[in-house]
Chains A and B, each alone.
Chain A
Amino acid sequence: MAKRVGIVGAAVTPFKGKWYEKTYYELAQMATAEALADAGLEPKDIDGVFYGIYNDIFQRTCIPEHPLQGIIGLQNKFGMRVSNGGATGAYTLSAAHAYVAAGRFKAVLMLGVEKATDCFDFQSMSATPEVIKTIGWSGDSFFEQKLGWTAADSYAEVVLAYKDEYPGDLKPEVTAQISALLSEQARSNNYAQRQFDQVTPEEVLNSRIVVEPFKELEICVYSEGAAALVVAEEETARAIANQTGQPVVWITGVGESNEHSFAGRNHKIMHRIISDHIAARKAYEMAGIKNPLQAVDVVEVHDAFVHQLEITMAEMGFVPLGNADSLIEDGLILPGGPLLLNPCGGLIYSGHAVGASNIMSAWSVRNELIRRRLKTGLVHGTGSTIAQYGVVLILEHD
C-alpha cells in the first residue's frame, strides 16, 4: 500500500532576469534554507534530495548537482537529478512522490534551480539569442537542429496545427486578455521577475511577433532562480504540521506522459498535446476526480506560451478542444470565476527558471490552498520538442 505524501515546507528565491549577485550554488542554498525553515526542519531531518536542473549548458557544467549535495547539508545521503526539458520541475515532484510513497524515505527535499541567462551572444552583445541557441541544442540532433529548431518554433508548430483544426479558437484578443490577466496576478507575487510589468490587452496585441503566432508578451521569460519543497510521508508530515501550525498539502494525484517526437500516423498528433491529456487523466484517476472544472479550485499551468496554455487547459478537460477561448469568454478564469489560473502570474510574468519553474508553481498552489482555504489544486509541466512531455499533479488541502 502506497503511503500518503504531503508537502510540509516550501520556498522560492526571487526569479530574476539576471542574478549577478549569486551563483546557482547560493540560489540553491537560499531556497533550501528557507524551505527547511518553513517546515521547521534542519538538514539532519532530511533523508535525501531530488534535484530539478534542466540544462547542463546553462549551469556551464555537467553533473551540476554534485557540488550542491554538501552545500545544502545533505552529504552522505540520497541525491538524484531529474532533467526533463521544461517539465523538469514537475517530473522532480513526480519522482520524489514515488520514492516517499514507496516508503523509502520519511522526508525529502525537492530542489529546482536554473541559471538560465549567464549564456551570452557576443555578436549581438545580448543574452537572449544565446539562451535560445542553448535550448536549440534540444531539437533532434540528426534531423532538426540544423534546420533552425527553437523552442518557440517547435511549440508554434503545435499551435498552428491546432489552428488548422480549430481556426476560430485562440483568438488574438483572447490570448492578449489572458496575458494581461496574468500580468495583473503577478502583482501579488513578491518573487516574480515581472511583478510590476502590468500590461493591457492592447499592449499585448501590439507587441512584436517573435514566431508567428506568438507575440513577445505571450511568451514566458527566461529567468534565474531556485525553488524548494519539503515532502514527507503521512505520519512524519502530520508531526511536522503540528509543530509548524501549517496544514499539510497532500499530493493525491500524479500523471506523466511523453509523446513520440516524430509526427504522423500512430506518432505525434500535431494538433494535440496528448501528453497533457494522458497525464491529467492519470492524475485525476489517482485523485478520484471526475469533473476537473468542478473539483479543482486553483491551477498552475506551465504557460510557455499563452496559446499552449489554452490548449493545455482543453487537454486537461477544463474547456472543450476547439473552444479554449471560453476560459475568457465564459469568464472561467476571470476574477470571480470558478477557476483561479496561474495566480503567481505564470511563467510569463513570474519567470521561467526552467528546473525550478514547476516547483515554484507547486509552491504557489500550496500558498493559495492554505491562504484562501481552498480544497484542490493542480500543477502542470510541459516540455521538450513539440510539447512532447506532460506532467500533472493534484494537490489537496488537508
Chain B
Amino acid sequence: MSNKVIPLEAIPDRSGHTVTIDGRNYLVMNDAMFTFYQRSMGELSDFFLALRDEKKILGCRCTKCGMVRVPPFVTRCPDCNFAPVETVEMGDTGKMLATPPITYFANSLFQQQVPFGRGRLLLEGADTALSVNIYTTKGILVPGLVKKGTEMKVIFRDNRVGEITDIFCVPAAELTADQLAQKGLTASALDWETSTEPALPPAGETEAQHFAAVLQELQALVGEMNGCERARKDIAGWHRTVLVKAAGGEFTLKIADGELTVEPDKTGPSDFVMVCPDPKVLLDGLAYRGSLTQAIMTRNLWISKNIEFNTIFKLERMARSLARSKKV
C-alpha cells in the first residue's frame, strides 16, 4: 500500500484517446481534479486526539437536557437554544442501533478493507450513535452476523493516526470476559486465527462421488489457468495455501506466484480454510459460471479469515481472465 494520500497506481498518464461515433471523432482526455489539505480538526480535535493518544471515546452532554451525543459533534445543544455541553468520557461497549449494511464491492480506496460493515453504534449511556466499521474475528463477515441490538466492543487499531478509522467494532460475543472488561483493547490483542467453521452436512456415497467428479474438473480447469498468461498475472507475487472442505472430502488449493495447484487432501499447514458444502460452488466460480463473492454473501461459501477476501478477489479475477482469453 502506498503511503501517499493518493495511491500512485491510481494516477493516470497525461494522455488522451479518440472515440469515433457515427463517423465523427471525439477526443477523450485523461484528467484529474485534485486538492490537498492541511485540515484542522478544530473543536473536534479533542475527540480525535483522545482516540489516537488515550484510546478513549469522548462524547458531550448537554448541561440542560442531558442529551449525550457521540461523537461530540456540537459544542452547544441545538435542542436547548444552544445551551453549552460538557465533555464526557464514554465506555467502549454498546449495541447496534440498527442492522448494518456490509460492503463487498468497494471503490479502489477501500478495496483492501472489504468486506466491511458500516453501522451505527449506540455506546452505553449515549443518545446518538457513532458510525463505525464492523468486523468479525471468527471468519468472513456475512449478513445476519451483526444485527440491531447486537452487543459490540470498540477495538483500537495499533497504529492510530487521529482519524475515525482508528477504531472499529467486533461482536462482544467473540471476546473473552477479560477482553470485554479491558479498556482500550487493541486489534493485535484479538485472536484472528480461531474461527468458527460452519458445520458440513453429513456426506454419503453420492457426495463422495460428486466431490471426486468436481475435483477432477477443477484440476483440468487449474491446468488451463496455469497456461493462461493473463490469469497467471492475477496471482503474481501471491502465496497462499488454502484448505478446502466440502461435503464428500477435502483438498488443498495452492497459490504460488502465478501457479495454481490442486492437491487431494490436506497437505500440511494452511493460511486459511474454505468451507463449501457443495464444491461445485467453488468450481463454478473459478470457471466463471458463478460468482465466489455472491456465494460468500449467500453463505454457500465460507472463509476462515475476513482479510482473505482479497484472495477470493484474485481468484475471481483469474476466472475472468481465463474466460476473456478464451473469447479472443
Contact = CB atoms under 8 A, between A and B. Distances in A.
Given A146-B164, A212-B297, A264 B33 contact: no
A209 to B, nearest CB: 5
Contact of B26 (A20, A133, A157): A20
B126 A264 contact: yes
Nearest to B25: A20
A130 B111 CA distance: 13
A267 B98 contact: no
Q: Which of B30, B108, B130 has the most CB of A within 10 A?
A: B108
Interface residues of A, number: 44
B161 to A, nearest CB: 10
A144 B119 CA distance: 10
B31 A129 contact: no
B179 interface: no
Given A148-B116, A266-B79, A164 B131 contact: no
A163 B44 CA distance: 34
Contacts of B44: 142
Residue from B21, B110, B131 having most chain A Cβ neighbours under 10 A: B131
B101 interface: yes
A2 interface: no
Contacts of A147: 116, 118, 131-133, 164-165
Contacts of A143: 71, 73, 130-131, 164
Interface stretch (B8-16, B189-197, B223-231, B255-263): B8-16
A290 B270 CA distance: 66
Nearest to A122: B12
Contacts of A148: 103, 106, 109-110, 113, 116, 118, 133
Interface string A130-170: 10110010001011101111101100110011011000000
B297 A263 contact: no
Contacts of A133: 107-109
Contacts of A130: 107
A363 B73 CA distance: 40
A158 to B, nearest CB: 8
B298 to A, nearest CB: 8
B97 interface: yes
Given A209-B297, A270-B97, A265 B128 contact: yes
Nearest to B134: A147
B97 A263 contact: yes
A60 to B, nearest CB: 6
Contact of A264 (B103, B122, B132, B163): B122
A294 interface: no
Given A20-B21, A147-B132, A161-B98, A132 B148 contact: no
Interface string B49-75: 000000000000000000101010100
Nearest to A146: B165
B56 to A, nearest CB: 16
The residue in B41, B71, B99 that gathers the most chain A C-beta atoms within 10 A of its C-beta is B99
Nearest to A262: B128
B102 A211 contact: yes
Nearest to A59: B33
Q: How large is the interface on B (under 10, 10 to 19, 20 to 34, 35 or more residues)?
A: 35 or more
Contacts of B127: 264-267
Contacts of A146: 163-165
Interface in B197-256: none
B294 A209 contact: yes
Interface string B89-121: 000000001111111111111100100101110
A148 B26 CA distance: 35
Contact of A21 (B12, B21, B103): B21
B102 A262 contact: no
Given A123-B9, A148-B113, A148-B133, A164 B28 contact: no
Given A144-B131, A264-B126, A157 B119 contact: yes
A263 B103 contact: no
B69 A262 contact: yes
A66 interface: no
Given A20-B26, A209-B294, A265-B128, A163 B99 contact: yes
Interface string A254-274: 000000001111110011000
B300 interface: no
A60 B128 contact: no
A153 B118 contact: yes
Contacts of A57: 33
Nearest to A133: B107
Interface of B: 9-12, 19, 21, 24, 26, 28, 30-31, 33, 41, 44, 67, 69, 71, 73, 79, 97-110, 113, 116, 118-120, 122, 126-133, 143, 147-148, 163-165, 291, 293-294, 297
Given A20-B21, A142-B73, 7 more contacts: A21-B26, A132-B107, A143-B73, A143-B164, A144-B164, A146-B164, A161-B148
8 contacts: A133-B107, A157-B119, A161-B98, A208-B294, A212-B102, A262-B73, A266-B79, A270-B97
